[in-house]
Structure 1
Amino acid sequence: MTNREDQLAANLAAVEERIAAACSAAGRTREEVTLIVVTKTYPASDVRILSGLGVRHVAENRDQDAAPKAAECRDLPLSWHFVGQLQTNKVRSVVGYADVVQSVDRPKLVTALSREAVRAGREVGCLLQVALDAGESARGERGGVAPGGIEELAGLVAATPGLSLGGLMTVAPLTGPYAGNQRAAFDRLMDLSTVLRGGHPAATMVSAGMSADLEQAVAAGATHVRVGTAVLGVRPGLG
């Protein structure tokens, strides 16, 4: 193995241990939680190494970086998740490679995703990004639909061709009542997921938790955690 392969293998093993321990502490099985490795800013060569180490889910947040990387890795058995704020002029490109868009937060985006998914003959999974810093009816600072808008947006996704409603996603908010209290934020997301599943039983995904707070997300009941730095290292230019 190369030095980079050794580094990624060690980091991945450490993250796997953290997830397994969190699952054990929460009385859950390891199989209940899916690891998504956030590969943004890192090269396709790292994605290829991760695939060889058994990673099956990767995430990106910028189409201009993700599209060429996904094309270079199209031979790998990977599911690609788009997790960034998505502008409608990027939707055609994103639909070309993303299996799941985790940042669906407005009707205009649903319409654009449907149009391009149908055109491409694909079904795209959609998670509603929930803004827990937005009160009941506004939008969050980093995108996302307010809790009060989930029901209407979920109904739109579920009824729209080319899309499937997978569940909910959130990022622990930096402002508002949940700032600094990730566990409470993730508990709130789980409550919202329970309500959503009352009307959409198949929408079981709950994507929450990152490198610093994956344990709190697993404890709350998250089905997917999005981990970047703990696997790949501190991103260039970020410290």
Structure 2
Amino acid sequence: MRKNTSGPRFKALLEAANITTTGFARFWGTEAQNIHNWYTRGVPAYRMEEVARLLSVNSDWLKTGEGPKDATRVRSPDAGDAFDAQAVRGVYAVVDHQDIALPVYKEVPTAAGSGKTHVIRDPDQTLRLPRSHLDALEIKHADAICAHMVGNSMAEKIEDGSALAIDRSLTQVVDGEIYAIEHDGMLRIKYLHRMPGNALRLRSHNSAQYPDEIFRAAQIEEQRIHVLGWVFWWSTLNKRRPVVPFL
């Protein structure tokens, strides 16, 4: 496998286009330090194709420095139409996408057979949301993450398997809002309510099957309950296809 030596070439491309580290990070929806790390570590393999396309270069050249530098064909991100890259050769303009890729987090075992879990980022998954959704709610792109609903405790509001988007910057509890929490390594989605004595009430939408849970301040600490962020978007897939009559 050829070594990824893309860092210096990536940096040179940004400099040639007068794109700052901070500017590219803002576009990408991440911290400037992460982009700065690419200068030395290289562009991550799972980002190589997209970065190369944005900068109008061949991904193999970007990764290894070998082969032709210029992409022979470039695909328009909006219409999907291909056009001749000769027209943009030497012009490295970042396309302002209408959506943004967000990292996906999930609950996974801490070790095989341990029976314990924790919530971490899945390096192989992203989920794209319209940039306008985040901007309308004044959510910084770097603060937004995604996850998936597990179980039916929030049915019929959020069905099992639905994708969720979470604002990590909003962890202060506003009564009656939906939050993602990590509870002793378990990912849970609940309505939260503050209670006297710094206690916390967790409420499910499917309250008939899942009664309210109340945790005192000491229990919150003992059971390692902490708020990951405010759930601001979710998707729900219909569970059945309607039957068309008279066929």
TM-score (structure 2 length as normaliser): 0.23
Please identify which structure carries the higher helix content.
Answer: 1
TM-score (structure 1 length as normaliser): 0.23
Q: Which structure's relative contact order is higher, taking Cα pairs within 8 Å and 6+ residues apart? A: 1
Please identify which structure carries the higher strand content.
Answer: 2
Q: Which structure's CA Rg is the greater one?
A: 2
